[in-house]
Amino acid sequence: MNASRQQEETNTKALSGAEVLLRVLVEQEVEVVFGYPGGAVLPIYDALFRQNRIRHILVRHEQAAVHAAEAYARSTGKVGVVLVTSGPGATNAVTGLVDALMDSIPLICLSGQVPTALIGNDAFQEADTTGITRPATKHNYLVKRPSDLAPIVREAFEVASGGRPGPVLIDLPKDITVGNAPLPTSGEGRLHRRYAPRLDADADAIKQTIAAMKRAKRPLFYTGGGIINSGPKASEGLRELARRTGVPVTSTLMGLGAFPTTDKQFLGMLGMHGSYEANLATHGCDLLIALGSRFDDRVTGRVDAFSPNSFKVHADIDPAQINKIIKIDVPLLGDVGRTIEALLQAWDGEGQDLSPWWAQIEGWRALDSLGFQQDMSPEAIIRPQYAVRRLYEMTQRLGRDTFVTTEVGQHQMWAAQHFQFDKPNRWLTSGGLGTMGYGLPAAVGAQIAHPDALVIDIAGEASTLMNIQELGTIAQYRLPVKLFILNNRYMGMVRQWQELLHGSRYSQSYSEALPDFIRLAEAFHGTGLRATNVGELDGVIEKMLAHDGPVVADICVAQDENCFPMIPSGAPHNEMLLGPDQEANAAKITQEGMMLV
């Protein structure tokens, strides 16, 4: 230890490790922690009890704590913080950590650990948390010395939010939090390592991109969640870039809201359940500029047939993503918001006439690939697309700031297709990991972050049951979350794949014994509503939106409805299933494609 460090620690007050931890969290402007107590973290909970700067939200499961913190982070742009105990507390959090890692969500997960002297002795509730979470986090730490505590926590926040955001875990042995620990007086603390991701793309690469844009006759912006992670200015820059260049825009699932989905230049999502025009534009463009997107397999489909004739530019802050899946002609390594700003500064408005390209796109758009027919007689079965569309239309009338979370499955895709998002950070879903049970705890996190906003979890009945215990959290904090269940009694997407890939043998995808969702809501001190036909739908939505407390709306929808358009797994973007009438003539699903599902 050098002299200055000795002096610094000499100048500190005698605080417990738990108190030091909370002081650094306050220093990092943490206002909310989502967690669940246990023996190894009781000193931290005791310190929380004796302060009033940080609010703790008691969830009912550690996985839910991470999803709530994810939504808090994604909807605010701040770092989400989770507190769990050792052993099962930490392992229960792993699913959420992987979810945050794949979707690039900045998180700090504080996990309790047995005292350092017992590590490796198979002590009660001991788990090798750093070993288990190494591939599940952007970085993790085991605090072995009290003097390391404050610097590690400070560094962890920089790692979580810097570069490509992600989850960082800090494992805290109980003796570290019980015993005294120094709190260095310097505001910044010392970093163990230099973490300085590159922020500005190479100037020559910007010139090459502009030259490609000037000669392109069929350009396309393919946008992703990186734009939202970069902050509101990145979304504003994208809107300006699209307006000034006239280039059409498509988006990944995670990027929805970065560009207004009601804008005429928006083609809809691309990929497996993307729109006809977005997928054909991706296949037929001569310049593809990927902005903050990572060429996920649900987007690319068959890699060797992905946008086969385009010149490809990829803007991403993570160098590991460049040329990882798709060969790139020009890499733009840096923060995507700053890259967009550089492109705006370099663009002089002189490009090709794009009217023939737009005419072709409008021809594809005329197919109305997201269209559906709803029988409007009062007793008619509700089609799930119609339920989402009506939910969107009726929320628009309220004019409230609205956040939508989802679970994972068919309902998620219908929500992405039929609920419109004109602002970033309002669409909160599990994209990379596809975590069933994400939406309800995510709604908790979004509602805590935005107490006056309307927060709706669009759910499937199977997925929502995976974390239904969070109705208890919602009740405890009187959160006015609306749970909008599209109930078809099936694991809908599983059923759809079984129909397409396995001869309609619906093995274990039907739920024989669902709960009565109205009584379930009442058991958790909420309000339950149900619509079983078209004539009841609007009334249920109206009551749900008007109620100032939590509501579970059970919307009974057509059981055999499938989600279209759909690119069969393993097929290129120009081979889509557009609906039941066209399935017989569509591309065949190959053995290789079956393995990609």
| Residues with catalytic function | 62, 124-125, 174, 493
Could you give the CA distance from residue 423 to residue 256 in angstroms, rounded to a whole number?
9
| Tokens, residue 192 | 């163990």
Count of alpha carbons within 13 angstroms of residue 469, beta-carbon side: 10
Residue 256: partners with Cβ closer than 8 Å, 6 or more residues away: 269, 416, 421, 427
Query: Is residue 291 within 8 Å of residue 223, measured between CB atoms?
Result: yes
Angle between helices 232-245 and 336-346 (to 10 degrees): 30
Q: What span, in angstroms and rounded, lies between the C-alpha atoms of 317 and 322?
A: 9
**Rounded-to-10 torsion of CA 202, 206, 211, 214:** 170
Quote the CA–CA distance of 583 and 580 in Å, as a whole number: 5
Cis peptide before 135 (omega within 30 of 0): no
Q: Between the CA of residue 88 and those of 84, 93, 468, 594, what are the distances in Å?
A: 9, 8, 19, 35
Q: How far is residue 232's CA from residue 221's CA, in Å, rounded to a whole number? A: 18
For the record, the structure tokens of 316 come out as 């991403």
Determine contact, residues 580/509, Cβ cutoff 8 Å: no
- CA-CA distance, 245 to 347, in Å (whole number)? 8
Q: Which residues of 531-563 are buried (b: 16+ CB within 10 A; e: fewer)?
A: bbebebbeebbeebbeeeebbbbbbbbbeebbb
Q: What is the token pair recorded at 585? A: 């003539």
Nearest C-alpha neighbor of 357 from the set 418, 292, 284, 412: 284
DSSP H helices in 216-335: 225-230, 232-245, 276-284, 297-300
H helices of 137-275, where? 149-161, 174-178, 203-215, 225-230, 232-245
Q: Which residues contact 210 (CB under 8 A, 6 or more apart)?
A: 343, 346, 347
Find out whether 314 and 321 touch, Cβ atoms under 8 Å. Answer: yes
Q: Which of 172, 167, 141, 281 is nearest to 218 (CA)?
A: 281
For 416, the token pair is 């992405």
Can you tell me whether residue 251 is helix, strand or coil? Answer: strand
Q: State both tokens at 571.
A: 């097929």
Burial (Cβ within 10 Å: 0-12, 13-18, ≥19) of residue 121: exposed
